[in-house]
A and B are shown apart, each in its own frame.
Chain A
Amino acid sequence: MSNLDQFRTETRVWLEENCPESMRKPMADESDSVGGGRNPTFKHPDQKLWMDRMAAKGWTVPTWPTQYGGGGLDRDEAKILGEEMSRLQCRTPLQGMGISMLGPALLEYGSEEQKSQHMPKIASGAIWWCQGYSEPGAGSDLASLQTKAEDMGDHFLINGSKIWTSGADKADWIFCLVRTDNTGSKHHGISFLLFDMTTPGVTVKPILLISGRSPFCETFFDDVKVPKENLMGERDKGWTIAKYLLTHEREMISGLGRGSKKKFCESAVDAIGLENGRLADTVLRTDIAKLELNILAFSKTMERVGDETKSGKGLGAASAIFKYYGTELNKTRCELMMDIEGEQALGWEGDNYKDGLMSRTWLRSKGNSIEGGTTEVQLNIISKRVLGLK
């Protein structure tokens, strides 16, 4: 038996023994996901049990080095773990910006002290992180951000505000882009700071969205003192880290376009029925077929780019399409879900309508092609950087 086969067997046995039964079904909505933090909320005690067991193995962050709380798995082992988890339908035990965004950036740009201080707490779910990027005047044009960090000798003094900070009302720490120099080009003079959200001068106000939910906040900084050692990477050169993280964010958002649950067309058959083996609504059938086709083609493209990277060809130009294509697919998916479910999709409150899960998901999806670089910005990037059209 090869090492990988042995790893697969051991993993399968461990998951079967350790993953609680209630953690082996798909999440109904975002409230089923676990983000950890100083004041964690668990809908069910099994969520905590599952998170703690996985964290003890380092499998909340399987590929991170073990000295920082990770599982130390290589790419092949991580893939096997992922496959075995899907086989049992195990839920992701812990998720959030710390795992998906800050951790990888710390590994790349953080000091040894910063890695040791922050990564194990991300891996165990002890600290919930949020991201301070966009500002009221800096959306698609992120580099024009103006939140000011003045050098006060042993600390920076932060003044300004951020908008669209995900989960800022629940987060313990923030990784934040600030302006330390105003004199050069707009990409120069940006620095990357890490600080505690309980620092005096930080206030947070949730933003109510069209979905009736508040996943984002406005965050205000009034004379917030941040110690100098909380600077990550080089001063004035934080744009490099920001760009690195935007790529990560885009990959994460593009993952929305991948079909993870049951096939979309099966819901349509349940809701609408078949006539002579074909969906009874023939116009809708065509739209669904196009969507299913594009979901398949998109997932094959993710697979191809992954395999190309693995074979040492480097991240190909195709990766530039992920954010654009994945988010547009997800929006189409949500629109079609509304059409398929009809009256059921319009409910806003009540148990019969899962408190408007479907309509709220549909409304939330409209933000996918805006956040993390709009569709139009993505198309600009492809045409300028990949195709060389200027």
Chain B
Amino acid sequence: MPLVLNEEQSMLKDAAAGFLAEKAPVAALRALRDERNADGFSRDLWQEMAEMGWAGIAIPENYGGLDYGYVGLGLILEEMGRQLTVSPMQSSVLVGATLINLAGNDAQKQALLPAIAEGKLLVSLALQEGRHHRPAHTALTATANGDGFSLSGEKVMVLDAHVADKMIIAARTSGEAGDTAGVSLFLVDGDVQGLSCERVIMVDSRNAGKVTLNNVVVSKGDLIGELDGGMAVLEKALSIANIGLSAELLGLCLQSFETTIEYLKQRKQFEALIGSFQSLQHRAADMFAELELGKSMVLAALQAIDNDDDDLALMAAATKAKLCEIAENVTNETIQMHGGIGMTDEYDMGFYMKRARAAQQTFGDYSYQLDRFACLNGF
């Protein structure tokens, strides 16, 4: 597949850009933050997006989706990154629906995927337990209880936790923390008995929550995928999730960079446009080069999902690592090159840096991904 968007994909990207610039710009995020909105996102807007097919863009047609693939989903996420659009796209579509589609049985898919595609059901993955993303170190205990299990433990960084209708809980059904075998995935209701959820306001003004499970009873029927075999499917879903987040980071970085370049062409100091200073020019040129590499990696990785390539895991680790590196540099340089105004809350660029750090950490940051990339390369 050539590394270039076809006409249909370009049209989707343009349409998403236009829609989001009008309906979900940074000002919308600012308003949600300032009013301490109870949901943390606009349900009306989410319905509109679902009606355009976005929530089901990568879901197969026989489960109510558009079956348009992950390149399409990635393009929308990239444009959402440009506008810092808040929606359950990441939690419920990129991760939730992907996991169910990869591992769920037909009945589960029938029950869940069409509802997700309609924007009526939010499903989130509860995975991380400590400060860092370490999926194999899942320790949340699953104690055998009759025909099923009883789950107890704590999860953090659960995206959209307090609004999730259902959660997929990664639990330890055998072995010990650190073993890749012995992790299982259970689907529970967001309001199931024994589950409590604390909304955590994060630096990026989005919804991530702390979820505590206290003897939550699940049956074998709640299992998504194989008992003890959750890691394999989790790894694939996380590869996809990290590529999607990379697409969002790419859009975020491009917007941040372009805004900075415009500023360099307007701001005068010492009777000169600051963009005429070579020290800034060369740093800008270097960012441009890195962003071009970022674009190539994101597109190649999105295509690797749709092609079901063997090197998907490697491409995902490489792409997320590269975009984490780029995002850290570009958002920092954005603040530095803007000077004092970049430090103010009134100016939008701070939001870009805040969202970047949160997206970087979600499902594995730069050092996690670079280490994974090296391991997958055999060193």
Contacts and interface: CB of A to CB of B under 8 A. Distances in A.
Interface in A312-337: 313, 317-318, 321, 324-325
Contacts of A293: 318, 321-322, 370, 373
Nearest to A383: B281
Interface size class of chain B, counting residues whose CB lies under 8 Å from the partner chain: 35 or more
A160 B370 CA distance: 53
Contacts of B379: 265, 268-269, 274, 278-279, 285, 288-289
A388 interface: yes
B289 A325 contact: yes
Interface stretch (A4-12, A122-130, A294-302): A294-302
Given A289-B370, A379-B282, A277 B377 contact: no
Interface in B236-253: none
Interface centre among A268, A297, A313, A324 (most CB of B within 10 A): A297
A199 interface: no
Interface in B341-379: 370-371, 373-375, 377-379
Interface string B1-24: 011100000000000000000000
Given A297-B293, A376-B282, A390-B276, A285 B374 contact: yes
A332 to B, nearest CB: 14
Q: Is the interface of A mostly helix, strand, loop or mixed?
A: helix
Interface in B271-327: 273, 275-276, 278, 280-282, 284-286, 288-289, 292-297, 299-300, 318, 321-322
Contacts of B278: 380
Contact of B378 (A265, A296, A325, A378): A265
A283 interface: no
Given A324-B289, A389-B265, A310 B377 contact: no
A321 B292 contact: yes
B309 to A, nearest CB: 13
A3 interface: no
A321 B297 contact: no
A78 to B, nearest CB: 16
Interface in A271-294: 274, 277-279, 285-286, 288-290, 292-294
A164 B374 CA distance: 40
A294 B273 CA distance: 33
A290 B3 CA distance: 23
Contact of A307 (B4, B294, B295, B374): B4
A297 B296 contact: yes
B214 to A, nearest CB: 37
A386 interface: yes
Contacts of A303: 3, 296, 300
Contacts of A304: 3-4, 295-296, 299-300
A126 B297 CA distance: 43
Given A277-B375, A278-B379, A379-B282, A300 B296 contact: yes
B143 to A, nearest CB: 32
A242 B322 CA distance: 36
A185 interface: no
Contact of A300 (B3, B261, B286, B375): B3
B191 to A, nearest CB: 43
A222 interface: no
B282 A383 contact: yes
A292 B289 contact: no
A269 B3 CA distance: 32
Contacts of B275: 389-390
B374 A380 contact: no
B285 A382 contact: yes
A28 interface: no
B112 interface: no
A301 B284 contact: no
Contacts of B75: none
A269 B4 contact: no
B3 A307 contact: yes
B213 interface: no
B373 A387 contact: no
In the A-B complex, list the 5 residue pairs whose CB atoms are closest, starting with the nearest: A383-B281, A382-B285, A307-B2, A304-B3, A300-B296
30 contacts: A265-B377, A265-B379, A266-B378, A278-B375, A288-B374, A292-B377, A293-B370, A294-B293, A296-B318, A297-B296, A297-B318, A300-B293, A300-B297, A301-B293, A304-B299, A304-B300, A307-B2, A307-B4, A308-B3, A317-B292, A318-B292, A321-B292, A378-B285, A379-B282, A389-B265, A389-B275, A389-B280, A389-B281, A389-B284, A390-B273
